[in-house]
């Protein structure tokens, strides 16, 4: 039976999705492959079809123990004999499963990466015929990814020790070019075997909503979209609880999910949402990885997440069924501080912390760009694309205004401050603030001091964010980024380049979206 026949007979599907046929052909040819596909793109099939066709066992390495049971149940329902071995099993259960695997009754074996650290497990693997190793959520292997896991890093070394050197398929929906390179290096995947199907999600409408009362937006949105399934993501448990009680006061039902809840409560709430007993889930990022709920119509981020990778992965849980979905980011500059705090408190080495701060800056640039949002995300993942015509920036029909002179004021102020200061201080100097630091550095003597006295510090701060998102200013790495003028910024200063910005206040009529 060929792959096409398995697709039809085992899975009941007529045709392959983009990328699937190419990936499966390579895998069946015994090549190592990296599959980069968007969420909902159909990654599982890329190893499940080979699992059916190859003589031995396919090992699936997945970081999410909590989801293994569901994945195994789904595979068994499809008719692929599958099981998992992880730390949730009792010793007798584990032995039963190992016997089933050894007796050749299993085609798909799901394991967590930590398993490979057990000599007993490695010993058992030595006696089996392993045909393929599928490394799911492969971005976890890279320190440059947004969800690095040390057990994945060790995995790369251990795979080499498996008898027969089975070939590897790595799968992820979220890898920048740097992360993809890292995965390929670590798992010995030739560059030519990177199969990318394009990260665009043509059915999602991305929106950035700035400096509006977030609660009011959420309430209005939920009331305007009753009985639509969706997720509201918050950065902290406390904020989940706050948003949930705010919604309760407005008589809007929701379930909550975060790491502070008991296991039973989490499972109950998750099921209420999955089975449409409740439409809205308010959660931290503990919720959602690997959850295959196809009819999620919207994902609202109540707070800015730490990176565009995390954002795209979470937002991408909307519209997995291919029908339209909304991906809305409620942006408040102060929410960046929550993420800075997470980075600062983490125990990462300094260079990794700096990489995290840099990702946060990219996230901030996404929130402040006036270019197509989908295009911005794709560029981040190394793709070129045309404008989506659906996002809040593409639909923003305010007039463009020439703000070159304002931009020159900011850029020359940055130069005069020797490019050693951050956004807040630059905005203070431009608006003529009086404080000790300004006096100490004699910034009140600069010709750019008080040059924007007719604007508020907050407004100038937004403008600086816009210039940064437009690539005229470049933030340094680190917790308190200082801004320097880029080559494009220098061209603006010399009058060789103009700067346009949409600035008139106008509320869009199609949805409760407002601009700064």
Residue with tokens 């910024």: 489
Select 299 or 410, whichever has its Cβ closest to ligand ADP.
299
Q: Which residues contact 124 (CB under 8 A, 6 or more apart)?
A: 98, 101, 102
Closest separation between CB of residue 98 and ligand ADP, Å? 27
Closest separation between CB of residue 12 and ligand ADP, Å? 9
Q: Which residues contact 440 (CB under 8 A, 6 or more apart)?
A: none
Sign of the dihedral defined by the CA atoms of residues 157, 162, 165, 166, in that order: negative
Q: What is the contact surface with ligand ADP in residues (CB under 6 A)?
A: 13, 16-17, 20, 37, 39-45, 292
Closest separation between CB of residue 199 and ligand ADP, Å? 12
What is the DSSP track for 110-178? EE-GGGGG-HHHHHHHHTS-EEEEEETTGGGG-TTSSS--HHHHHHHHHHTTSTT--EEEEEES---HH
Closest separation between CB of residue 39 and ligand ADP, Å? 4
Q: Is 495 helix (H, G, I), strand (E, B) or coil?
A: coil
Select 77 or 264, whichever has its Cβ closest to ligand ADP.
77
Select 42 or 475, whichever has its Cβ closest to ligand ADP.
42
Point out the residue whose Cβ comes nearest to ligand ADP: 42
> Strand 473-475 relative to strand 483-485: parallel, antiparallel, unpaired?
antiparallel
Select 244 or 291, whichever has its Cβ closest to ligand ADP.
291
Select 97 or 196, whichever has its Cβ closest to ligand ADP.
196
Q: Is 472 helix (H, G, I), strand (E, B) or coil?
A: coil
Closest separation between CB of residue 33 and ligand ADP, Å? 14
Q: Is 17 helix (H, G, I), strand (E, B) or coil?
A: coil
Select 24 or 511, whichever has its Cβ closest to ligand ADP.
24
Closest separation between CB of residue 16 and ligand ADP, Å? 5
Question: Which tokens belong to 323?
Answer: 């029908």
Closest separation between CB of residue 13 and ligand ADP, Å? 4
Select 141 or 438, whichever has its Cβ closest to ligand ADP.
141
Q: Is 475 helix (H, G, I), strand (E, B) or coil?
A: strand
Pick the closest to residue 311 from 201, 189, 183 (CA basis).
201
The span from the CA of 116 to the CA of 228, in Å, is: 42
């Amino acid at each position: 039976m060929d792959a096409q026949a398995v697709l039809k007979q085992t899975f009941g599907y007529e045709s392959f999705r983009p990328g699937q046929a190419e990936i499966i052909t390579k895998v069946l040819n015994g090549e190592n492959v990296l599959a980069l596909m968007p969420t909902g793109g159909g990654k599982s099939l890329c190893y499940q079809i080979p699992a059916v066709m190859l003589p031995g066992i396919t090992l699936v390495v997945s970081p999410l123990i909590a989801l293994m049971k569901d994945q195994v149940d789904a595979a068994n329902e499809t008719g692929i004999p599958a099981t998992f071995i992880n730390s949730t099993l009792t010793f007798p259960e584990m032995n039963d499963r190992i016997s089933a695997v050894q007796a050749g009754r299993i085609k798909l074996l799901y394991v967590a990466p930590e398993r490979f650290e057990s000599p007993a497990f490695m010993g058992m693997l030595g006696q089996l015929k392993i045909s393929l190793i599928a490394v799911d959520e492969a971005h976890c292997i890279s320190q440059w990814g947004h969800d690095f896991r040390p057990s994945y890093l060790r995995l790369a070394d251990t795979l080499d020790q498996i008898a027969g050197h089975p070939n590897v398929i790595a799968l992820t929906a979220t890898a920048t070019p740097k992360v993809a390179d890292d995965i390929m290096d670590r798992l010995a995947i030739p560059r030519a075997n990177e199969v990318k199907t394009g990260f665009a999600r043509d059915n999602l409408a991305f929106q950035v909503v700035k400096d509006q009362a977030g609660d009011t937006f959420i309430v209005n949105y939920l009331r305007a979209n009753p009985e639509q399934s969706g997720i509201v993501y918050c950065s902290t448990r406390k904020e989940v609880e706050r948003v949930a009680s705010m919604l309760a006061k407005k008589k809007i039902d929701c379930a909550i999910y975060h790491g502070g809840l008991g296991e039973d409560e989490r499972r109950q709430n998750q099921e209420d949402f999955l089975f449409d007993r409740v439409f809205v889930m308010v959660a931290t990022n503990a919720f959602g990885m690997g959850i295959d709920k196809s009819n999620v119509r919207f994902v609202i981020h109540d707070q800015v997440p730490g990176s565009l990778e995390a954002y795209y992965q979470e937002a991408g849980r909307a519209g997995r069924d291919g029908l339209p979905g909304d991906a809305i980011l409620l942006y408040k500059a102060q929410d960046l501080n929550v993420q800075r705090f997470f980075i600062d408190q983490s125990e990462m080495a300094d260079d990794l912390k700096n990489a995290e701060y840099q990702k946060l800056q990219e996230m901030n640039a996404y929130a402040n760009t006036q270019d197509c949002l989908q295009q911005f995300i794709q560029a981040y993942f190394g793709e070129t694309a045309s404008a989506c015509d659906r996002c809040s920036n593409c639909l923003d029909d305010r007039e463009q205004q020439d703000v070159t002179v304002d931009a020159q004021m900011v850029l020359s102020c940055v130069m005069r401050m020797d490019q050693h200061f951050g956004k807040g201080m630059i905005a203070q100097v431009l608006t003529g603030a009086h404080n000790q630091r300004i006096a100490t550095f004699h910034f009140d003597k600069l010709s750019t001091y008080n040059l924007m006295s007719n604007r508020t510090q907050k407004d100038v701060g937004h403008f600086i964010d816009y210039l940064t998102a437009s690539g005229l200013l470049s933030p340094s790495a680190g917790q308190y980024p200082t801004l320097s003028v880029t080559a494009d910024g220098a061209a603006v200063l010399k009058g060789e380049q103009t700067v346009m910005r949409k600035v008139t206040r106008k509320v869009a009529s199609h949805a409760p979206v407002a601009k700064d």
